[in-house]
């Protein structure tokens, strides 16, 4: 993914563009890169090893209401009641998805007698990291060129992953790094899914408004569940059906709220790096 992004956005990494970035810009880039480029992906990948894909997809929907709450509290953003109601209902849907899970091994006891699986907890913490990075990007990264933002975030995440793996598993962990089997999947995942997906998303951002962006991102949980069923034959559980249904109700209310916003708010110009963060986790 990093090689693909460098090939596409490498020209933006010139002395003139880099010179315009302040120390605060670089600190903001570093914070977002660590949270969304290293911490969140690692937690989500750990979650995928410990729990079902559908759980990760649904619990990841905790990010939009958290980002909304932080935006209202910290940035004083104004939202209508429909959006607030949608966020609350989506949050309840995530809680139901977690709470209705059948008992399993390695569950963690939380305050109040609440128990949560390790995978579900990792997915939730990863979503929280993404929500925080979204707020940082709104405050600090509005004017950062898209190419600098994406390449820096991916490069930082790559370096952090490499260092952590070396510390935990040693150099021997990379003994199969040049295997053709590994590379065919890395090319598919990194170049096609991650880079290709981001390019399609950015292309859409050029010709759409906030309502369309929100509507498009609302399809992600449905697409994730369908992909898990078609590729992994993973059938949703009762907890996932109930939680997913509640989350979809929240998404519908949120969409109604966005459609009722004033045209001025709906067509507000936002930096591309900020819009890019609104998608949530996109692979890396």
| Residue 29 pLDDT | 92
Q: Is residue 265 part of a domain?
A: yes
pTM of the model: 0.82
**In this structure, what DSSP letter does residue 261 have?**
S
Q: Are 127 and 277 in contact (CB under 8 A)?
A: no
Q: Is residue 282 part of a domain?
A: no
Q: Is residue 122 part of a domain?
A: yes
Q: At 280, is the secondary structure helix, strand, or coil?
A: coil
Q: Is residue 284 part of a domain?
A: no
More confidently predicted of 152 and 271 = 152
Euclidean distance between CA atoms 121 and 91, whole angstroms: 15
Q: At 168, is the secondary structure helix, strand, or coil?
A: helix
Q: Is residue 283 part of a domain?
A: no
The number of domains in the chain is: 1
User: What backbone phi and psi angles, to 5 degrees, belong to 117?
Assistant: -70, 155
Q: What is the mean pLDDT of the chain?
A: 83
Q: Is residue 249 part of a domain?
A: yes
| Token pair 């790094």 in the structure block, residue | 177
Q: Is residue 135 part of a domain?
A: yes
Range of the domain at 73: 2-11+22-277
Euclidean distance between CA atoms 38 and 155, whole angstroms: 10
Q: Kindly state the average pLDDT of the residues 87-107.
A: 85
Confidence category of residue 127, pLDDT binned at 50, 70, 90: very high
Q: Is residue 201 part of a domain?
A: yes
What pLDDT digit, counting tens, does each position of 13-42 carry? 998 889 999 999 999 999 999 998 889 988
């Amino acid at each position: 993914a990093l090689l693909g992004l460098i090939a596409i956005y490498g020209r933006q990494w010139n002395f003139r563009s880099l010179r315009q970035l302040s120390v605060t810009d670089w600190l903001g880039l570093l914070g977002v890169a660590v949270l969304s480029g290293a911490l969140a992906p690692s937690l989500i990948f750990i979650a995928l090893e410990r729990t079902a894909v559908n759980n990760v997809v649904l619990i990841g929907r905790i990010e939009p209401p958290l980002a909304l709450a932080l935006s209202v509290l910290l940035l004083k953003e104004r939202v209508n009641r429909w959006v607030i109601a949608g966020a609350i209902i989506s949050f309840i849907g995530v809680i139901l998805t977690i709470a209705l899970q059948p008992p399993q091994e390695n569950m963690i006891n939380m305050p109040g007698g609440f128990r949560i699986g390790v995978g579900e907890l990792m997915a939730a913490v990863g979503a929280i990291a993404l929500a925080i990075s979204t707020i940082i990007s709104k405050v600090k990264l509005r004017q950062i060129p898209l190419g600098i933002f994406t390449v820096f975030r991916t490069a930082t995440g790559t370096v952090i992953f490499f260092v952590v793996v070396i510390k935990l598993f040693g150099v021997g962990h990379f003994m199969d790094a040049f295997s053709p089997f590994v590379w065919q999947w890395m090319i598919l995942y990194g170049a096609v899914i991650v880079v290709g997906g981001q390019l399609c998303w950015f292309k859409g951002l050029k010709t759409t408004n906030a309502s369309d962006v929100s509507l498009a991102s609302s399809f992600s949980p449905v697409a994730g569940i369908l992909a898990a069923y078609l590729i992994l034959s993973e059938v949703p559980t009762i907890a996932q059906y109930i939680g997913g249904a509640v989350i979809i109700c929240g998404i519908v209310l949120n969409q109604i709220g966005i459609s009722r916003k004033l045209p001025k708010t709906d067509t507000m110009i936002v930096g591309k790096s900020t819009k890019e963060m609104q998608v949530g986790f996109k692979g890396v």
